[in-house]
Amino acid sequence: MAEGEEALPSSWEKDLEEALEEGGCDLETVRNIIQGRPLPADLRAKVWKIALNVVGKGDSLASWDGCLDLPEQSIIHKDCQELIEQLSVPEEEKSVLLLDIESVTTFYCKSRNVKYSSCLGWIHLLKPLVHLRIPRSDLYNCFYAIMNKYIPRDCFQKGRPFHLFRLLLQYHEPELCSFLDTKKMTPDSYALNWLGSLFSYYCSAEVTQAIWDGYLQQADPFFIYFLMLIILVNAKDVILTQESDSREEMIRFLETSPASLDIEDIEDLFSLAQYYSSKTPASFRKNNHSLFGSSLLGLKDDDTDLSQALCLAISVSEILQANQQQGEGVRFFVVDCRPAEQYNAGHLSTAFHLDSDLMLQNPSEFAQSVKSLLEAQKQSIESGSIASGEHLCFMGSGREEEDMYMNMVLAHFLQKNKEYVSIAKGGFMALQQHLADINVEGPENGYGHWIASTSGSRSSINSSVDGDSPNGSSDGKGVKSLVNKMTVALKTKSVNVKEKVISFIENTSTPVDRMSFNLPWPDRASMERHVSSSDRLGKPYRGVKPVFSIGDEEEYDTDEIDSSSMSDDDRKEVVNIHTWINKPDVKHHFPCNEVKENGHMFRSHLLVTATHMYCLREIPSRRGLAYIQSRQALNSVVKITSKKKHPELITFKYGNSSTSGIEILAVER
């Protein structure tokens, strides 16, 4: 091309210009013409307005009185002025533009009843829009549309969007996620301004426009998560080699990493993001759709607290559909972690059995089972089996107490940095309910097609479980023989410990985390005094459910509540373990493990005084110190239970007991 010769528009650019001029052009038409190519600057405003669906929208500010009188107006004015100074705007236009930006911000606050704060990052969202040089009405409509569709709810410190991003990172890059976890570098510490400004906070104007060109054309608000993921993955090697750097230095490095993006990087950024998106289950979006949009429907806490989630949850409908599809896409290798008798009674026909109880009862056999599982997964993929899939999805019963051991198995795979690990949402109960719901055309399309029974057959994972019956009534062979290897001694030990606690609090009545006690127990002298039936220290509980029991723990458990809402560690009292154990009022001390619902176990100490029971959780990074995890009055203990099958797992329930029944207020295990 000769010097000074202007580049002529290409044919697709002419097609795009004509389509935009004709009017009535929709986003699909625009996408088909552009096909991921760089967007001409002079057509950007029209394309963005189509992508944001604001073409033809009226002037929302027309009926507004224009009063700039919010309590935080001085802050808004200052931030808007700073934005103007960053723009290459002729001096004579600055005052008009400043008024437009301040009006848009103020009206949005008033109409949405939101209090303005500089940390919200709205100014950075407005910056790319101001570059378009569009009228005030379009500026407001575009800003409103972006806030409504692309900025997630709770986009602040410890907000739900960042817990979700951590789960996505763990799904694809478990090693990197684990490393950041150990450094206590949560996504909100480095990605708050990535998500809150759609990268405009750190990226240059040119790069931001290119990112928004592609992102708005995607019309998928969740796609920002994959762009964030690629930026993090791109920095992975540097992150893992910076272990000697301080946490603050590493956060600063990550936080500013989008600033290094060049315009030439954008095509690769989007290609890689598309790849990771294609390798992510659809449930990632479907289970979290309430994060985006203005509708308040579906905001009833979505029955999951993402901050407590062990891994991504997959809907049973997606599990069934995924392995029926042909070609590319996410496919699941389903691992059924229920006890053998439940699995034999009925299971997903494509599921592989891994008895999670083996993890504690027979670790060597569990290790061999895991090897068999991974080998079976590999072979199924190579053979193209309908049961094949590189994505591991663990399925439990759907009952919290039973699935505790499955959660431990899940944690085991995550600790091994296994990618593509997920859990079936609602477990086997949800699967049964879903099949019942869709079984509208006769049995041939219902349970018979999906559910298999292997009663009396060999387990798919364990060659030593022959002869099991669905109701578990075998004569000690099979799975039960494995259980019996461990439980005889454990029963004796756990009963002794329960008796020690019970003898102390039998005539009193108390919230409950979970205690899995270490064996052997410390040899302590027996209590000085046991409460007898002739004692009259309190009213006997006539007609009240038993406080102490060893059984299957199904009776009276319907009112158990979750105690996972304990206060954060930074609000708990830190104490010296040795000092507390040797306090004169401590009658008994039991080393134990606190077991949470997600399977995580924490080294702990249970201390019993004449009036209270304390749980001290060890602080791994501070040897000899512990948090006071719970402090419960003995007279609030209403139930102490353990299962016949797992007597080493003791559950304490605290609450109020009366002739009208038991009110459970907290649970510890």
- The domain boundary residue, chosen from 240, 260, 291: 291
In a shared domain, residues 23 and 60 = yes
Residue 268, token pair as written in the block: 């690769």
In a shared domain, residues 79 and 193 = no
In a shared domain, residues 633 and 584 = yes
The CATH number of residue 71's host domain is: 1.10.8
Structural domain for 71, as ranges: 10-150
CA distance 306 to 288: 10
Looking only at the bridges linking them, the beta strands covering 637-643 and 649-658 are antiparallel
In a shared domain, residues 280 and 315 = no
pLDDT at 528: 37
CB 195 within 8 A of CB 152: yes
354 domain residue, yes or no: yes
466 domain residue, yes or no: no
Peptide bond into 520 cis (omega under 30): yes
Tell how far CA 175 is from the center of its chain.
17
CA distance 124 to 277: 26
CA distance 71 to 239: 43
pLDDT at 483: 32
Residue 354, token pair as written in the block: 């891994």
In a shared domain, residues 144 and 15 = yes
CA distance 467 to 449: 25
In a shared domain, residues 359 and 419 = yes
In a shared domain, residues 112 and 167 = no
In a shared domain, residues 190 and 137 = no
pLDDT at 500: 52
522 domain residue, yes or no: no
Residue 238, token pair as written in the block: 């540097």
Tens-digit pLDDT profile for residues 32-76: 999 989 999 999 999 999 999 999 899 999 999 999 999 999 999
Residue 442, token pair as written in the block: 């006769």
The CATH number of residue 647's host domain is: 2.30.29
Tens-digit pLDDT profile for residues 127-144: 999 999 899 999 999 999
In a shared domain, residues 24 and 141 = yes
In a shared domain, residues 269 and 363 = no
CA distance readout (Å), 357 to 311, 361, 412: 20, 6, 13
The secondary element (H helix, E strand) that includes residue 451 is: strand 451-452
Identify residue 140 by its one-letter amino acid code.
Y
CB 594 within 8 A of CB 617: yes
How many helices, marked H, and strands, marked E, lie in the chain?
A: 26, 17
329: exposed, middle or buried (Cβ count in 10 Å: 0-12, 13-18, 19+): middle
281 domain residue, yes or no: yes
The CATH number of residue 422's host domain is: 3.40.250.10
- The domain boundary residue, chosen from 389, 408, 437: 437
Residue 667, token pair as written in the block: 């649970």
Helix (H, G, I), strand (E, B) or coil at 627: strand
- The domain boundary residue, chosen from 406, 437, 468: 437
pLDDT at 295: 53
Structural domains of the chain, count = 4
DSSP codes, 356-425: TTHHHH-HHHHHHHHHHHHHHHHHHHHHT-TT--SEEEEE--S-TTTTHHHHHHHHHHHHTT-SSEEEET
390 domain residue, yes or no: yes
Question: What is this structure's pTM?
Answer: 0.68
CA distance 613 to 632: 5
310 domain residue, yes or no: yes
CA distance 645 to 340: 13
Residue 200, token pair as written in the block: 């405009």
The CATH number of residue 276's host domain is: 1.10.472.80
CA distance 253 to 231: 12
117 domain residue, yes or no: yes
In a shared domain, residues 369 and 429 = yes
In a shared domain, residues 63 and 89 = yes
In this prediction, the residues of the chain whose per-residue pLDDT falls under 50 are 1-6, 296-301, 303, 440-447, 456-494, 505-570
CA distance 147 to 198: 10
641 domain residue, yes or no: yes
